[in-house]
Each structure stands twice: as structure tokens, then as C-alpha cells.
Amino acid sequence: MVLDSFSILALFGITIVVGYVGHIFFDKTRISDVFWLMIFGIIIGPVFNLVDRTLFVSISPFLAALALLIILFDAGINMDFYKMVRSFPRSILMAVLGMVISTLAVAAVAVYLMNFTWLYGLLLGAIVGGTSSAIVITIVKRLHMREQPKMIVTLESVFTDPLVIVVSIVLINIIAQNGNHISPLQSILSAFSIGAVIGLFVGLIWLFTLDKLRGRPFDYMLTLALLFLLYVFVESAGGSGAIGALAFGLVLGNGTAFSTMLKTKKHFGFSKLQRTFQNEVSFFIRAFFFVYLGIIVSINTTYVIYGLAVAVALILVRLVAAEISTFRMTLTHAEKNMIRTMAPRGLAAAVLAQLPAAYNIPNAAVFSDIVFIVILATVIYTTIATRFFYK
């Protein structure tokens, strides 16, 4: 079925309703709205063919870039700078260790079960190597326990988003260019440094600018425009636009902290109204992207088996990473179980799964189809495990 203007408007409207109702259901069922959105996408896509799949596949590069921008900008705005510094050692250890072990484990499964090359296997591992910050944050804030373990898994999920994004993009570039004249370490360091420096610099300038614009209309829309331009500029300069967006959001979300560090007379910051607008925009982009993922997925028995095998590997690896990362920490049994079970994959994995197609990598569709099953399986596992341990 070809989409007309009325069908598109109806799709947008129903997506928002499904996302909102799924968010409400989460309070009672702890089943993430991600699950309901993806199921809705499957129903209107592969099951009943109510929408034109080829149309959505053709706009994949745009949607992937847009979702990438929004999730990392949102992560930066909602990241508390001082809490990040205090919980940084354990969180970064868990993030890096979890991603490295997950990437290697998934790569091994991909090579020996799916006949992938090691480079393709590592790319699949990197794509699903990080936990979903949106799902983890939503779950842990409703659990009744101390702030320290909750902060560790929260920051871990936030840190893994840019980490998996940059590593995945580097691997995609290596595959696209057949590994010629590319140093992976140099590429990662270059992407991080260029993106972070430009993002921080533009963020600081924009803090002062927003103060001058205070009281004027459309300051949030102007910020969003600057975010898009920043992403394009950083990518053109050879850096990671994703990291630039994260750094830009970090400065705006922690304006008071940066004002103190710069010893300015006034304290700048993102207003409550601007944060509200950002949450609304983030909600819509996130909801639509998961529906889009359900629409374009191709479900067959082989991919279901591969996706479940990858999900099992990730769940088992999570147990190992949790034990190592929490070594000599004083935690209750419930707190340890919470850290062990936080293994959902979400928006970052979904977005990254679309990038191989954007870079014209052969057989790119397999990434999207397998990652779709991995997201569903890990979200269901985390939901059931959470209900079991925190009944």
C-alpha cells in the first residue's frame, strides 16, 4: 500500500498514542513501550502490509542520523556532570568491559554460527554492545534501593551509547573502505577528540547566547537548528557528529556547573521549558523510530534463531561483566541482581543497525533483521527478570 498524506498523518497519530499508552503500561507491567511500538510496526508492516516498506527503507539514512542526534543530545542534557564524575570509575569500567566482552562474544557467535567474517561479526557485536539508556533509566528509577548502584547502571547505559556508536561507525568505515590506510585506534581517538572539542566549544558559546535570547520566542527551535548544523560540521571536519551532539547537550544541561568552572558572574543553563520541549521531541522521534524498525524488518526462522543466539550470549556475558565490575563493592543481593539483569538493547542498537545500508555495505539488511530480534528478546528478558527479582 502506498502512503498518502492522510495515511502518514494517521501513522504519526497512532504512533504517539501507542507510545503514550505503552509508557503508562510500563508502570504496571514493567514491559517497555519499545516492545509495543515494535509490535505495532510489525502488524502494519510485514503482517498486514498496510504501508509501503520500500518507502521507509529509502529514508533509512535520514531517520538513522536524526535519531542518533536526538538520543545523544538528550543523553547529554539529562546527564548530571558532578554525579557523572563521582560515579565515573565504576560506570566507565562496566561500560567499557561490558561492551568489549559483549562485542567479542557476539562476534564469535556470528563467525561460528552465522558464517560471518570476523570484521562483520565485530560490527554486529559493537552494534548490540551497549545497554539501552532509555529503558535502563526508566526501570531503575522505580526500584527502591540505594542511589549508588542505580547511578552506576544508569551512567553505564549513558556511556555505552556514544561508545558503541563511535566504534560501530569506525568499523563501518573500515569495511566500506576495505580496511585501506585506516588505523582503528587513530580513527576512534580522532572522532572522539574532534567531536568533543567542537561540541564543548559550541555549547559554551550557546550558553551565553541563550542568556541573551532569554524571554524571546523559539529559542529551543534555534538550539535544535544549531544542533543539526553542528552535526554536519563535525562530520565534515572528520569527527563524530554523535559525540559533538553529546558534548553540546552536556554543556547545555549542566550550565550551572560550567558557569562555576568558568567563574562567571551569572549562572547559565537550559530552562525548564526548553527541557520539556526536548523531552517531547525525543519521545516522538524515539517512538516513530521503533515503529519504523518493525515496519522494515524481514522476519524468518533463520534470523529469529540467530537473534536469539546473540541475545543469550549478551545475557550470559552481562553476568560476567557485572561480577568483575562490582568486585569488592558492598551491595545487597537485590542490588547485585539488578546490575546483573540490566541487559536491554534499544534505540542506539536500532539506529546503528540501519547504518550499514546507508554506507552501501553488502548484505546490510541482515544487521537490521538480527538486531530487531535481539532488542525484542533482551527487553522481554529484562522485563521478566525485573518482575521476578522485584515482585
pLDDT tens digits, residue range 61-92?
788 778 878 877 887 887 777 766 666 677 77
CATH architecture under which domain 60-389 falls:
Up-down Bundle (1.20)
In this predicted model, which residue has the larger pLDDT, 318 or 273? 318
Query: In this predicted model, what pLDDT tens digit does every residue of 30-66 receive, in sequence order?
Result: 677 878 888 899 899 888 888 877 878 778 778 877 8
pLDDT at site 159: 76
Q: How confident is the model at residue 306 (pLDDT cuts 50, 70, 90)?
A: very high
Which of the pair, 82 or 296, is modelled with greater confidence? 296
3-class SS string, the chain:
CCCCHHHHHHHHHHHHHHHHHHHHHHHHHCCCHHHHHHHHHHHHHHHCCCCCHHHHHHCHHHHHHHHHHHHHHHHHHCCCHHHHHHCHHHHHHHHHHHHHHHHHHHHHHHHHHHCCCHHHHHHHHHHCCCCCHHHHHHHHCCCCCCHHHHHHHHHHHHHHHHHHHHHHHHHHHHHHCCCCCCCHHHHHHHHHHHHHHHHHHHHHHHHHHHHHHCCCCCHHHHHHHHHHHHHHHHHHCCCCHHHHHHHHHHHHHCHHHHHHHHCCCCCCCCCHHHHHHHHHHHHHHHHHHHHHHHHHCCCCHHHHHHHHHHHHHHHHHHHHHHHHHCCCCCCCHHHHHHHHHCCCCCHHHHHHCCHHHHCCCCCCHHHHHHHHHHHHHHHHHHHHHHHHHCC
363-387: per-residue pLDDT in tens? 888 998 999 899 989 988 987 887 7
More confident residue, 166 or 196: 196
Q: Average pLDDT of the chain?
A: 84
Report the pLDDT value the prediction gives residue 285, as an integer from 0 to 100: 87
pLDDT tens sequence across 236-284 = 887 778 788 888 998 998 888 888 887 777 777 777 888 888 889 888 8
Verdict on whether the full-model pTM lies above 0.95: no
Residue ranges covered by each domain of the chain: 60-389
Q: What is the pLDDT of residues 326-360, one digit of tens each?
A: 887 878 888 888 889 999 998 788 888 888 887 88
Least confident range from 46-50, 119-123, 151-155, 315-319: namely 151-155
